[in-house]
A and B are shown apart, each in its own frame.
Chain A
């Protein structure tokens, strides 16, 4: 059957269209399947008994009363389960001599952080498991907690892991002089110190500890009742989890199927191989029944990995004319009690970003990772790059103050002009594309920078109780993690490729399988748009499948703004293979030479004729297989794996205006403008949403969130009452826009957008806050810049003594009011 191809009314391209998301239909009607909704018949419920102490010897665990409690199947310690020698994986040994302690599934002898599991209770219902957990009596001998990074490195410090002989996990150094990618920072500093026409500016910045706080608490269900053990998990990394289950528990990889069903956010916080997941594997193997673990929010804040937590000593050198000559970075990074899956490498992901968008001729980066008796740290949105961006954007402002220059003008003087791309930086990365001038010009115009500066001047002159501050952040990031060879050179324990498959169904529908694993990003919609254009099929006919290792056997999952930049090209490569196969069939059916066929809008046509075949027809003919070219397999399906050759480098200019009530210290974010270059935009609606959400998280670091420990090593911000996420009423609307210089490092020209807002916004806010109050003599305010900190900074700068703030004391908040969950008193005693 030869049909005449439809007259070519070229459909408008899908890529670039603001498609509403196809995945929403379920989510807005409650037709969802988050892990906790999965309860196979006979499921048993697991509750973890956690240590309230940060550092303690376990003298004994009395399980008798708990074991006798109604509905309890069993109470187990690591020894009871035979898992005391099992260690959870760390996939990133950043140096050959890195010190890595065993990270157990449950503490056996010693507890190393408050919240660490000591035993598990398994019962018929979650309520019965919870009831019995209260009856497990653990006898602890309290030990001294290790809380301060600098003290932990001092001679004679209490050791978190005595067998390692030190609290230092590793020290990782990059020196552009030694690497041959730039000059020597030591030389730059001594030259600057000797030169009256140069300045040396040193600052210490604190990156407070944050908690990713995805909205869906972590959960897993392990069902051993089939041939494959099925692990349902609220995870960003089903593929890695599968492999690591084999590595950790010895279950053959072919006998494990991991399913990440609907996943309620991750932000890096669900990149992990959890003790609870592996405990459920052990319990399912032992009990031969499905087991489920779902954490409470309090457990999540306590035991799920945290992020950031660095002390940053930054030295910048510059000529008095503003030319930056060198940057020295010295970090202390708190690992917490153990190493997470990629924890030690998180600060290293920032190492190459301290030079940011600037032509800095010499850079040295030194990072020492430190063990403390706190919850471990690992990836949190941006992972290493927000920390780097904060430091460089803050120090550029400090340099501007030192030199009496406008902070934007100083940046302009030092950044890489667009005509110099591709540009190889001082750390040896090649920035392929970008246009800092364009993004900045647009942002400055939208923001009305000059007008706001005038208003600021006026308010200062009038001594207005409400002062205005303007903050800038001109950022770039490396994302699209990552070229495998680069990861190899950094000793990372995996590659950075991504896989895709395309299946042409008999009826012309298309199934696309990706190894990326969505948890809110909109992969289904964006990938469908790409496939619709490339394959010339309707958007609605494309089904994106992911998050199940039996459906998508190959993949490296979602983090590091990689899904589109790495997963996207894998899909287009697979599509191209499908088209190539289909072309053979089409040529055969159209009785034409392949070279005479052209493929457009989903149809093969014989050049110069009206003869043609739609891809759907070819799919059906291939399914029928009645008449295929000689020797051709009856399948159009294709697989592809894409390994990028370089990172991608989104950038943007972010501008914030804050009003500070100098009487109370209250910071009001009045205006936020950003213009981001994320390369080619597949779906502007999704890009805008990613920027909004990223901004909110970055702004929250600047204004609202922190995880603190008291002197005993107890997490003070252990509920949402004390870990204060901003609500809608705490944030303004943002003015966001994109410009686009296509990436040349991947065939789609995309750069990635998941982390941009978070990376860029934090320093913009803090720079704005300081800009408002520098006039009073304030030089720094630690994050989050709460009203109290701002007020106190003003008082102190003006020579008025103020009190110490008891950061470990609960402040009244939702639900609990004045009742301190860590230290209940009053009516609940």
Chain B
């Protein structure tokens, strides 16, 4: 067993884990963060994407012990103070998800992408999410959503766009 101390979605945890425990399994099985999903075993699908110390990673490709001392943000911690992140909002508005299985990873990767490139063109979005597979949408609406979120997140975007809907709302 090895000890891991990690902050996940703003909460501090200290746990003994087997060194072989993947970060994604730690999140799902120990912390109950089942919003982060597993879609493959070869690092292709990106469904398990979370942020580790501010950067997107595939949490199947990080050992929990490697995250020791780090800060993890999952899809479950993305909305702040009851407000959806603009990328979450845009995914809803642009019908960028169907079955929802790739969605947590896709959103986390899109958020990372916009951090690096606040105004990506279509090609840049497509390449920015190339590590995340979706089988439902054909990606078109995902690309639209990411570009739309980019516009909303621009400094000086309209106040309306900066006030995301309530997380709990759901009654769109």
Judged by CB atoms under 8 Å, the answer to whether A and B touch is yes
**Contact indicator A30/B138 (Cβ below 8 Å):** no
A216 contacts B138, C-beta separation under 8 Å:
no
Q: Is B69 among interface residues, defined by CB-CB distance under 8 A?
A: no
Counting CB contacts under 8 A, is B75 at the interface?
yes
Report if A519 contacts B (CB, 8 A). yes
| Closest-CB distance, B99 to chain A (whole angstroms) | 3
Interface of A is mostly: loop
A215 and B134 within 8 A (CB): yes
CB contacts under 8 Å to B, within A1-59, are 19-34, 36-37
Check B101 against A692 for contact (C-beta < 8 Å). no
Chain B nearest CB, measured from A823 CB (Å): 15
Interface string of A670-710 (1 = CB under 8 A from B): 00000000000000011011101111110000000000000
Instruction: Check B70 for interface membership: any CB of A closer than 8 A.
Output: no
CA distance A686 to B141 in the complex (A): 11
A816 contacts across to B, CB distance below 8 A = 42
Q: Is the CB of B169 within 8 A of A25?
A: yes
Q: Pick the contact of A719: B41, B78, B138, B172 (CB < 8 A).
A: B41
A694 CB contacts on chain B under 8 angstroms: 138
Q: Which residue of A lies closest to B32 (CB)?
A: A37
CA distance A213 to B135 in the complex (A): 7
Identify 20 new A-B residue pairs, CB closer than 8 A, beyond the known A37-B34, A689-B98, A721-B44: A20-B172, A28-B100, A214-B99, A214-B135, A215-B39, A215-B102, A216-B39, A262-B100, A264-B100, A265-B98, A297-B40, A689-B95, A689-B141, A693-B135, A694-B138, A696-B135, A727-B131, A728-B127, A728-B129, A729-B127
B92 surroundings in chain A (CB, below 8 A): 20-21, 24-25, 28
Q: Is the CB of B172 within 8 A of A215?
A: no
Assess the B172–A25 pair: CB atoms within 8 A: yes
State how many angstroms separate the Cβ of A378 from the closest Cβ of chain B: 17
Partner of B98, one of A20, A26, A521: A521
> CB within 8 Å of A: which residues of B?
18, 20, 28, 33-45, 47, 61, 74-76, 78-79, 84, 88, 91-93, 95, 97-104, 107, 122, 125-127, 129-143, 167-172
B138 near A731: Cβ-Cβ < 8 Å: yes
B125 to chain A, nearest CB (A): 7
A577 to B79, CA, bound (A): 43
Top 9 closest pairs, chain A to chain B, by CB: A30-B35, A520-B99, A264-B101, A27-B100, A25-B170, A696-B138, A815-B43, A692-B138, A37-B34
CB distance from A2 to the nearest CB of B (A): 31
What residues of chain B lie closer than 8 Å to A36, measured between beta carbons?
34, 38
A30–B36 CB distance below 8 A: yes
A758 vs chain B, min Cβ distance (A): 10
In the assembled complex, the Cα of A571 lies from the Cα of B24 at a distance in Å of 41
Contact for B170 among A22, A30, A34, A695, CB less than 8 A: A22
Measured between beta carbons, the chain A residues less than 8 angstroms from B141 are 688-689, 692
Q: Is A450 an interface residue (CB 8 A)?
A: no
A263 to chain B, nearest CB (A): 7
Q: Are A19 and B172 in contact (CB under 8 A)?
A: yes
Given the interface pairs A29-B75, A29-B84, A29-B167, the reply to whether A216 lies near B99 with Cβ below 8 Å is yes
Choose one: A25, A688, A696; the contact of B139 (CB below 8 Å): A696
Tell me the smallest distance from the CB of A27 to a CB of chain B, in Å. 3
CA distance A22 to B88 in the complex (A): 14
Chain A's closest residue to B35 (CB) is: A30
Are B43 and A814 interface neighbours, CB within 8 A? yes
Annotate A252-270 by CB proximity to B: 1 below 8 A, 0 otherwise.
0000000000111101000
Q: Can you list 21 A-B pairs with a CB-CB distance of less than 8 A?
A: A27-B97, A29-B75, A29-B88, A30-B104, A33-B34, A217-B39, A263-B99, A689-B137, A694-B138, A697-B135, A719-B41, A720-B40, A721-B42, A721-B44, A727-B130, A727-B131, A729-B129, A734-B140, A757-B138, A813-B42, A814-B44
Cβ < 8 Å to B, chain A residues 90-109: none
Taking CB atoms, residues of chain A closer than 8 Å to B79 are 29
- Is B98 within 8 A of A28, CB to CB? no
Q: How large is the interface on A (under 10, 10 to 19, 20 to 34, 35 or more residues)?
A: 35 or more
B76 surroundings in chain A (CB, below 8 A): 29-31
In angstroms, Cα B135 to Cα A214, docked, is: 6
Q: Is the CB of A26 within 8 A of B135?
A: no
Q: A24 contacts B172, CB within 8 Å?
A: yes
- With A22-B171, A719-B40 known to touch, is A686 a contact of B95 (CB < 8 Å)? yes
Instruction: Report the bound CA distance from A22 to B135 in whole Å.
Output: 21
Q: Least Cβ distance of A127 to chain B in Å?
A: 7
Question: Complex formed: what's the CA distance from A29 to B88 in Å?
Answer: 7
Residues of A within 8 A of B45 (CB): 215, 297, 720
**Complex CA–CA separation, A29 to B78 (angstroms):** 8
Query: Are B138 and A34 in contact (CB-based, < 8 A)?
Result: no
- A741: Cβ under 8 A from any B Cβ: no
Q: Is A238 part of the binding interface, using a Cβ–Cβ cutoff of 8 Å?
A: no
Contact string against B for A residues 212-224, beta-carbon threshold 8 Å, 1 for contact and 0 otherwise: 0111110000000
- How many angstroms from the CA of A734 to the CA of B168 in the assembled complex? 33
For A213, the chain B residues whose CB sits under 8 A away are 135
Whether, in the assembled complex, A85 has its beta carbon less than 8 Å from a beta carbon of chain B, the answer is no
- Contacts A21-B172, A727-B131 given; does A215 touch B47 at CB 8 Å: yes
Q: Which among A37, A693, A719 is the interface contact of B137 at CB below 8 angstroms?
A: A693
Which residues of A have CB within 8 Å of B130? 727-729
Nearest CB in chain B: distance from A717 CB, A: 12
When distances are taken between beta carbons in the complex, the residues of chain A under 8 Å from B75 are 28-30
Separation of A27 and B44 alpha carbons in the complex (Å): 21
Is A742 an interface residue, CB under 8 A from the partner? Answer: no
CB of A733 within 8 A of chain B? Answer: yes
Contacts of B103 in A (CB 8 A): 27-28
Question: How far, in angstroms, from A688 to B36 measured CA to CA in the complex?
Answer: 27
A34 touches B143 (CB 8 A): no
B99 in contact with A265 (CB, 8 Å) = yes
* Cβ–Cβ < 8 Å partners of B37 in chain A: 32, 34, 216, 264
Q: Return the chain A residue nearest B125 by Cβ.
A: A728
Give the chain A neighbours of B168 by CB distance below 8 A: 25
Task: Say whether A62 faces chain B, with CB atoms less than 8 Å apart.
Answer: no
Task: Give Cα A19 to B126, complex, Å.
Answer: 26
Contact (Cβ within 8 A) B133 A727: yes
Q: Does A402 count as interface, using CB distance less than 8 angstroms?
A: no
- Complex alpha-carbon distance, A379 and B68, angstroms: 45
Asked whether A596 is an interface residue with its Cβ less than 8 Å from the other chain, the reply is no
B18, B99, B130 — most chain A CB neighbours (10 Å): B99
User: Assuming A37-B34, A729-B127, A733-B140, is B171 touching A540 (CB within 8 A)?
Assistant: yes
A217 to B135 Cα, complex, angstroms: 12
Query: From A734, which residue of chain B is reached at the shortest CB distance?
Result: B140
